C-alpha cells in the first residue's frame, strides 16, 4: 500500500509560516502522510479563484486523495467547516463555495460538518481553523477515519453564482473566469457552444476582427498575435502568443467576452 | 516505520537552482528521505525573519523531524555551522541566531559544531555550505547518525536581541516583529499582557481610537476595519479586515506599537 | 526499495492549476511516486533559463531519478517530445534545447521520441502536452518502463547556442548567463580561464577598477561592495555583498562581461 496523499491549497502565500504549521500538524498526526503542495498563492481570500482552481486540478488526482483547502475569509465566524466526498475525492474545506464548480463537474457529493471535538486540536483558536480543525481532519482521514465520524451529514451548503455564457444570434457572450500565470484569459464559454470558428472578438469595450486569429494551439501563430482557442479544460481561452493577453487587453476575472461570426 | 522527514527553510527564492541542488544532495545520500518545503522565500539574508518563522512553525512538527535552515549571510567566513536538538526537534543551521526565538520557547538545547569531514562533500566550496555541509549533515542525520558524531558540543552560540514589550500605566508598548502575507502585523505583545480590552492603538506616529476595534477574529468586523486581536500564536496582531494593515499603516518589522486603555 | 522520485520543473508559475493537474496525473498512474518540486518559476517560455537551471541542479540527484521538464513554447506544433538518459539521469522534456548545457556537462545521451500512444492520455489536447504526454511518460518510467518502450531512438535534437567566453591578451570576455534570486550575476567564464586574480571588471558599458574587489566568498567584503568570485558551480559570479548586483549594474542575461589584469 502506498502512503496516503494529502494535497494542500491555501491563500497563505509562499513566505508564510502558516503553511509550515499545517504541514507540522499533518505530519504529527500521521507521520506517513505524503504532502503534495498544490498552491499557496490563491489570491488572498479569493474564494472564486480557489473554486476555479480546484475545479481544474482536483479531478486528475486518484480517487481517495484527501484535499485540504484553506481559503477562509470567514475564519472564526459561524461559517461551517466541511468534509465532503465527491467523485471519489475527499475534500476538507470551509463552507464558502470554494468547491462549487467542482460540484457541477462531478457526481453528487456527500457532505458532513466537522464537529467532533475528538479530531480537533484543543483549544481551538479563533483565527486559525486551518491548523486547529481542518489540518487535523485531513490527517485523521488519511489514517482511515470516515467522513461520517466527523459530524452530521448536511444537505445544504454555500454555492457560488456561476456566470453562464449566453448564446446570441451570431455570437456567444460570456466572461473571463480565470487568468493563468501566462496571462491567458480563460472564459466560461465551453467548446460545445462554438459550432463555428469565431472571427470577431470583444473583450470589455474593445473589439477585434482582423487582429484576432482562431488557432488550435499557441504555437500556431506568430509571436505577439492575439488568438482564441479551446484550452486544455475545454473552455475558450484568449491568449497572446509568447505574451500576456491579460496585460495587452487589461482584462481580468469578470471582464465580458463576446465572440461572433461576421459572415 | 515511516520515512524520515527533512524540512527545508531557505532564502534562496522560488526560481533558484540552489534549492534543487540541495534536494538532489539530500536524495542522493538518503533516497528514502521525505522532503518537506517550508519556505524558500525568507527575505534574502534576513535572519530575524527566519527566527520568527522557525519559532512559529517548527514546534508543530513531530519530534525527531530534521529541519534544515539555510539563511546564511556569513557563508564562507568563520561563522560556525551547527546541529542542535531542542524539544525533540533536530536543527541544522548556521550559527547566526536564526533559532533564537525557538530556543526561548522550547527546552534547553544540545548544540554541536558540524566539523566532521566525513559528513561533508569534498571539496567544500566557499560560497555554498548549504550544499556541501548542511544538506549532507541533514541527510546523514536522517539515516540515523547522532548529532554528537558531527563534532564537538558547544556551550555558546549567537543569540539575536529579542525586543521585549514593556508595561506602562495604562498601556503596553512593543513593536512589530513579523508581517505575514495578508499584511497582518504581528507584535511582540503577548496575550498575557492585555488584561483588559485595549481601546487605543498607536502604530508608529499614528494613533487610532474610534477607528480601531478589538475583535476575537478577522471576520468579526466589517470589511476595511482596522482591528486588533490575539493571533494564533498568542501574540497581539493588527489587521485590516479583508485588507492589508501593512499597506494601510505603512508599517513594517520594528515599527513601534502601543496599545492602551483610555478609561 | 525507496519510492521512485519524479522532479518537476516548469514555467507554470506558483498560482497555476497546471502544476496541480500534472501532479494529479502522476499520482494517478503511480500512487507511490515521490514528487519533488524543483521550480515552477522558470520565466515563461524561457528555454535558456531552464537550460542553465537544469545544468546546475540535476547532476546532484541520484542516478535513476526521473526529471519532468515542461517549458514548452512550441506546445501543439510539430516539435518532438523526448525521453533521454544522460549520466544515469532520466529526462522527459520537449525537444527545444532545454537540456543543452546538461548534455555538455554529462556523458553521451540516449534519446527517444515519445510516440507510443499507450503511454499517453486520450485524447491528447493541442495545448497541454505536459498533462497528456510528458507527465504520463514520467509516471510510466517511474513504474519501471524503459525509455526505448516509448518510441524510436533519435540521433539529432535541438541544441541551444552556448555563448563561449573568449581569452584576450590581458582579459577574458564573456557574458551573463544566469541571474539568481539574490541578484548575483553568473557568467560563462569558468574558473580555469582565470589564471590570475582579475583587477578590472566591465559589465555592459560600465567599468570598475578601484570599486571592484575579488573575493573568495560573499562575506569577505563590506556590505555594499561590488565583488567578483568563483561561485559554487565553478563559474565566475559578480555580486554585491548583502545587495543585488543585477539592480546595481542594471545587468541581465546576455549583458557582456570582461575581466582583466591591469598590471
* Contact between chains at A28 and B62 (C-beta distance less than 8 A): yes
Angle at the Cα of A221 from the Cα atoms of A215 and A223, rounded to 5 degrees: 140
Per DSSP, the residues of B181-248 read TT--EEEEEEGGG-SS---EEEETTEEESTTEEE-SSGGGS-TT-EEEEE-TTSEEEEEETTB-HHHH
Q: Which of A3, A20, A75 is the closest to B39 by Cβ? A: A20
CA distance B70 to A96: 38
* Contact between chains at B232 and A31 (C-beta distance less than 8 A): no
**Distant-in-sequence, close-in-space partners of A1: CB < 8 Å, separation ≥ 6:** none
| Chain C from 223 to 242: CB within 8 A of any B CB | 229-232, 237, 242
Residue pLDDT, tens place only, B84-139: 999 999 999 999 999 988 987 777 899 999 999 999 999 999 899 999 999 999 99
**Distant-in-sequence, close-in-space partners of A207: CB < 8 Å, separation ≥ 6:** A200, A201
Per DSSP, the residues of C107-166 read ---EEEE---GGGS-SSPPSS-HIIIIIHHHHHHHHTT--GGGSS-EES----------E
C7 touches chain B (CB under 8 A): yes
Residue B21 phi/psi, 5-degree rounding, is: -60, -45
Q: Find chain A residues with C-beta within 8 A of B2's C-beta.
A: 3, 31-32
CA distance B175 to B166: 10
* Contact between chains at C218 and B21 (C-beta distance less than 8 A): no
Asked if residue A218 has pLDDT above 80, the reply is: yes
Would you give per-residue pLDDT tens digits along chain C (263 residues)?
A: 789 999 999 999 988 899 999 999 999 999 999 999 999 999 888 999 999 999 999 999 999 999 999 998 888 778 999 999 999 999 999 999 999 889 877 778 999 999 999 999 999 998 899 999 999 999 999 999 999 999 999 999 999 988 899 999 899 999 999 998 889 999 999 999 998 899 899 999 999 998 899 999 888 899 999 999 999 989 999 999 989 999 999 999 999 999 998 76
> Within a 10 A sphere around the Cβ of B208, how many other Cβ atoms?
16
Per-residue burial over C152-181, b if 16 or more Cβ lie within 10 Å, else e, is eeeeebbebebbebeeeeeebbbbbbbbbb
* Contact between chains at A56 and C3 (C-beta distance less than 8 A): no
B43 touches chain A (CB under 8 A): yes
pLDDT of residue A263: 65
* Contact between chains at A19 and B39 (C-beta distance less than 8 A): yes
Per DSSP, the residues of A210-225 read TTEEE-SSGGGS-TT-
* Contact between chains at A62 and C23 (C-beta distance less than 8 A): no
B partners (3+ CB pairs within 8 A) are A, C
Write down the ipTM of this complex. Answer: 0.93
Helix (H) or strand (E) holding C21: helix C17-29
Q: Give the number of beta-carbon pairs within 8 Å between B and C.
A: 107
Q: Which of B41, B220, B237 is the closest to A15 by Cβ? A: B41
CA distance B93 to B91: 6
Q: Please give the residue of chain A at the shortest CA–CA distance from C121.
A: A60
pLDDT of residue B263: 66
User: A112 pairs with which residues across the strands?
Assistant: A83, A153
Tell me which residue of C230, C254, C233, C255 sits closest to C105, measured CA to CA: C233
* Contact between chains at B76 and C219 (C-beta distance less than 8 A): yes
| Chain B from 160 to 199: CB within 8 A of any A CB | 180-182
CA distance A25 to C197: 52
Interface probe with C: pick from B17, B36, B120, most Cβ of C within 10 Å: B17
Q: Find chain C residues with C-beta within 8 A of A7's C-beta.
A: 20, 23
> Within a 10 A sphere around the Cβ of B261, how many other Cβ atoms?
16
Tell me which residue of C200, C194, C191 sits closest to C263, measured CA to CA: C200
A108 touches chain B (CB under 8 A): no
Burial zone of C11 (CB within 10 Å; 0-12 exposed, 13-18 middle, 19+ buried): buried
pLDDT confidence of A185, banded at 50, 70, 90? very high
A partners (3+ CB pairs within 8 A) are B, C
* Contact between chains at A39 and C21 (C-beta distance less than 8 A): no
CA distance B236 to B175: 10
Interface probe with C: pick from A35, A38, A99, most Cβ of C within 10 Å: A38
A214 touches chain C (CB under 8 A): no
Per DSSP, the three-state class of B87 is coil
CA distance C138 to A98: 31
C5 vs C8, C38, C62, C89, C147, CA distance in Å?
A: 10, 12, 9, 11, 16
A220 touches chain C (CB under 8 A): yes
Strand order from edge to edge, sheet including B153-154: B34-39, B5-10, B66-70, B89-94, B81-86, B110-113, B153-154
Span B212-238, mean pLDDT?
92
How, if at all, do strands A153-154 and A89-94 pair? Answer: unpaired
Q: Find chain C residues with C-beta within 8 A of B35's C-beta.
A: 36
Q: Find how far residue A21's CA is from the centre of its chain.
A: 23
pLDDT confidence of A73, banded at 50, 70, 90? confident
Angle at the Cα of C248 from the Cα atoms of C242 and C254, rounded to 5 degrees: 115
Please state the pTM of the whole predicted model.
0.94
Interface probe with B: pick from A1, A18, A20, most Cβ of B within 10 Å: A20
CA distance B118 to C140: 37
Q: Find chain C residues with C-beta within 8 A of B73's C-beta.
A: 218-219, 242
Angle at the Cα of A127 from the Cα atoms of A122 and A133, rounded to 5 degrees: 45
Residue C193 phi/psi, 5-degree rounding, is: -75, -15
* Contact between chains at A21 and B180 (C-beta distance less than 8 A): no
Rg of chain B on CA atoms, in Å: 21
Amino acid at each position: 500500500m502506498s502512503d496516503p496523499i494529502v494535497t494542500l491549497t491555501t491563500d497563505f502565500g509562499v513566505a508564510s509560516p502558516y503553511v509550515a504549521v499545517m504541514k507540522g500538524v499533518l505530519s504529527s498526526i500521521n507521520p506517513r502522510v505524503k504532502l503534495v503542495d498544490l498552491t499557496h498563492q490563491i489570491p488572498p481570500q479569493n474564494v472564486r479563484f480557489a473554486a476555479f482552481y480546484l475545479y481544474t486540478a482536483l479531478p486528475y488526482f486518484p480517487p481517495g486523495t484527501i484535499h485540504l483547502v484553506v481559503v477562509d475569509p470567514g475564519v472564526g465566524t459561524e461559517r461551517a467547516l466541511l468534509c465532503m466526498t465527491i467523485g471519489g475525492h475527499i475534500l476538507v474545506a470551509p463552507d464558502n463555495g470554494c468547491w462549487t464548480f467542482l460540484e457541477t463537474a462531478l457526481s453528487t457529493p456527500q457532505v458532513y460538518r466537522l464537529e467532533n471535538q475528538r479530531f480537533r486540536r484543543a483549544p481551538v483558536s479563533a483565527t486559525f481553523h486551518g491548523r486547529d480543525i481542518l489540518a487535523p481532519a485531513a490527517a485523521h482521514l488519511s489514517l482511515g477515519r470516515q467522513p461520517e465520524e466527523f459530524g452530521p451529514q448536511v444537505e445544504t451548503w454555500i454555492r457560488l453564482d456561476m456566470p453562464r455564457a449566453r448564446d446570441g444570434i451570431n455570437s456567444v457572450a460570456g466572461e473571463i473566469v480565470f487568468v493563468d500565470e501566462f496571462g491567458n484569459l480563460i472564459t466560461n464559454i465551453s467548446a460545445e457552444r462554438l459550432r463555428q470558428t469565431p472571427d470577431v472578438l470583444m473583450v470589455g469595450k474593445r473589439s477585434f476582427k482582423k487582429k484576432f486569429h482562431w488557432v488550435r494551439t499557441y504555437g500556431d501563430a506568430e509571436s505577439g498575435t492575439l488568438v482564441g482557442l479551446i484550452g486544455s479544460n475545454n473552455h475558450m481561452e484568449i491568449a497572446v502568443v509568447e505574451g500576456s493577453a491579460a496585460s495587452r487587453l487589461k482584462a481580468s476575472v469578470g471582464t465580458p467576452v463576446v465572440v461572433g461570426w461576421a459572415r
